[in-house]
Amino acid sequence: MQILKYVFQQHGDERGQLVALEEFKDIPFEIKRVYYMYDTGEGIHRGFHAHKTLKQILICIHGSCKVLLDNGEEKKIVSLEKPYEGLYIAHNMWREMYDFSPDAVLMVLASEYYDESDYIRDYEEFLNSIKEEK
């Protein structure tokens, strides 16, 4: 499984760092939605789903967390701990987010508006949808 992690350009000077993200330039899709999660309790796991079409980039802009990616055949764990790194997650990829540091802020840039019908929340259904895609 190929992991696609973007390293964004940092505009640093004596005042600190700044990262700018533009759709189709730094981000390979139109950004239709931004959401973020924080105050995630110790031991909490989130996610446990795949998406039918949604593409996203996950950026832990503060603190750290881990993301487990599962394409139905292989699983990989990716650590997010740099505010200038973004993890690309395409459709048909099961994800779980966990090991959030108490100060973690996980920001997500998404290619589509929120649509519950795009979620695959059942693991067996996810495996079937992968088989159908092949």
Residues near 33 by Cβ (< 8 Å), separated by ≥ 6? 109, 110, 112, 113, 114
DSSP state of 16: B
Of 20, 35, 53, 103, the one binding ligand T46 (CB under 6 A) is 35
Of 5, 46, 82, 91, the one binding ligand T46 (CB under 6 A) is 46
* Given the residues 11, 49, 51, 62, the one annotated as active site: 49
Of 19, 21, 29, 33, the one binding ligand T46 (CB under 6 A) is 33
Residues near ligand T46 (CB under 6 A), total: 11
| Residue 57 CB coordination number (10 Å) | 24
The residue length of the chain stands at 134
For residue 134, the minimal CB distance to ligand T46 (Å) is 22
Sign of CA dihedral 52, 57, 63, 65: positive
- Catalytically annotated residues: 49
Contacting residues toward ligand T46, per CB under 6 A: 33, 35, 37, 46-47, 56, 58, 95, 97, 108, 114
